[in-house]
Amino acid sequence: MAKVVVAGYMVRHPVAGNMYAYFQYLLGLYRLGHEVAYVEESGWPASCFDPETGVHSDDPTVGLRAVDALLTQHGVHVPVFFVRRDTATVVGGSKAELRRTLREADLILNVGGVCWLDEFRLARCRALVDMDPMFTQLGRFALGRLDQHDIHFTYGANIGKPGCSIPQVGLRWHPTVPPVVTDLWRKPDSWDAVGDGPSTKDRFTTVANWSAYDGVTFAGEHYGQKSEEIMKLLALPSRVEYPLELALAGANAETTAILERAGWVVRNGISISRDPDSYRSYVAGSRGEFSAAKNGYVKAWSGWFSDRSVCYLAAGLPVVLQDTGFSDWLPTGTGVLGFSTIAEAADCLRDVDLRYREHVRAARNLVEQYFDYRVSLPALLDVALGKDAVD
C-alpha cells in the first residue's frame, strides 16, 4: 500500500458538484487501503467561496467545515491541511506535521493543478491530474509549474493522437478517467430497478458552470467555454419530448431568460450543489443526463469525459453528452451516447426514450468497466509508482 497526498480544491470551493470531483479520489484511495492525506492551499487572495452568502474571502472556515462533514459522513479519517499564503499558517496541523506528511508520501496527486507548495518537492513522486485539457496545457492551471511534476495524467485521452489539437508542451500525457465510488450514487428509490412500464423520471438534467473562466487562443484558434456550445443547442427542447433541465451557476438573468424562452428548464446550480445529499439526490432522481461540453474540449477533440457524467452512470442513468472525442476510446451508442449536432442530440434523446431499460443496464456496465475507483485508481497508481510499490 502507498502513502498518497491528494491536493485539490474542496476547501476554497465547497460546492457539492465540485467537491465530489476531488473527494472520490480521497474516498477511493482510502477504501483501497492506502494511507491518505488531503492538502490544499489558498492560491490567491479572496479565494474562499461561501455558497450560502455568495461571498469570496480569505477565510477557509466554511470550506473546512464542509470538507470535515463530508469526510465524517462517509467514515474517512485522514489528515486535512490548509495552508494560508497570506499569513503563512497551516490549518489542521503544524508546519512540521505537514512537512513530515509530504516527506513520507510516496505520491502527491495534484488533482486539477490548482495547488502548489514548494514542500511538494519533498515527496517521492509528484503527479498532476489534468482535469481541463487544452486549458491546462496553455497555462490556465498548474500555476505555470507543469515541469515541477514527475508524471502527468490527463482526462484528455486523445492528447498526442491524430485529430487532437492540444499541444503536448514537451511532456508525456498519460490518459486517465474520473474515478467514481458507485455506492454513493445508488439511492434505493432510483437504483434498484426500472419497472416494466415507462420510467417515472420525467427529465434529463445536468449541473454546469455557464462560463467558468476565460477562453484561450492557440495557433490562431479560440477555445472557449460551455456557454458557447449550449447556445448552439438553444432550439433543442422544441425537438424532443422530455424536458431538458440545466442547473446553472454563473448565468445572469438575461441568459436565463433566453434559455427559458427556448424551452429549457433552468435551475440555480449553486442551490442544487449547496448540500452534498441534495446534489446526489438531484443526480439520481433524473431520467438521465444531457449536457454540452466546453467548446475547448470539443474543438480540440480532446477525448475528455465528465467527472459529473460518471456520477450519473453510477446511479444507473444514461448519459447523452456532446462528443469531445471520447467515442474514440469509450463504447458509445448504449448507456453513453455522443452527439455533435443538434439533430444528433435529438436522435440520441429519442433513442434513450425508446430503449430506456437497455440504456440503464449499459450505463451500469460501463461505469464498472471504466470508471469505478477499484479499476481507475489502481491503474493510475500502477503508472505513477509502479505495480510493486502499491501491491
Q: What is the enclosing helix (H) or strand (E) of 270?
A: helix 269-273
**Average pLDDT over all residues of the chain:** 93
Find, among 78, 39, 103, 32, the residue nearest to 390 by Cα: 32
Find, among 207, 184, 185, 10, the residue nearest to 114 by Cα: 10
The CA distance from 179 to 377, in Å, is: 7
Task: Kindly compute the dihedral angle of the four CA atoms of residues 183, 310, 151, 171, in this order, to the nearest 10 degrees.
Answer: 180
pLDDT at 190: 40
pLDDT at 239 over 50: yes
pLDDT at 12 over 60: yes
User: At 25, is the pLDDT very low, low, confident or very high (cuts 50, 70, 90)?
Assistant: very high
Instruction: Check residues 106 and 86 and name the one with the higher pLDDT.
Output: 106
User: What pLDDT, in 10s, does the model give residues 291-329?
Assistant: 999 999 999 999 999 999 999 999 999 999 999 999 999
- Predicted TM-score of the model (pTM): 0.94
Cα of 292 vs its chain's centroid, Å: 14
pLDDT at 195 over 60: no
- Residue pair 179/373 in contact (Cβ under 8 Å)? The answer is yes
User: At 192, is the pLDDT very low, low, confident or very high (cuts 50, 70, 90)?
Assistant: very low
Which residues have C-beta within 8 Å of that of residue 118, sequence separation ≥ 6? none
pLDDT at 212: 72
* Mean pLDDT of the region 146-150: 94
Q: Which amino acid is at 47?
A: S
User: At 37, is the pLDDT very low, low, confident or very high (cuts 50, 70, 90)?
Assistant: very high
What is the widest separation between alpha-carbon atoms in the chain? 61
pLDDT at 85: 87
Helix axes 342-354, 356-366, angle to 10 degrees: 100
User: What pLDDT, in 10s, does the model give residues 251-306?
Assistant: 899 999 999 999 999 999 988 888 899 999 999 999 999 999 999 999 999 999 99
Instruction: List domains and CATH numbers for the chain.
Output: 3-179+373-390 (3.40.50), 182-370 (3.40.50.2000)
pLDDT at 104: 97
Find, among 319, 352, 19, 360, the residue nearest to 190 by Cα: 360
Q: Which amino acid is at 373?
A: Y
User: At 87, is the pLDDT very low, low, confident or very high (cuts 50, 70, 90)?
Assistant: confident
Q: Which amino acid is at 268?
A: N
User: What pLDDT, in 10s, does the model give residues 347-380?
Assistant: 999 999 999 999 999 999 999 999 999 999 999 9
H/E/C letters for each residue in 173-234?
EEECCCCECHHHHCCHHHHCCCCCCCCCCCCEEEEEECCCCCCEEECCEEECCHHHHHHHCC
Look at phi and psi of residue 164 and say left if phi exceeds 0, alpha if psi is from -120 to 50, else beta. Answer: beta
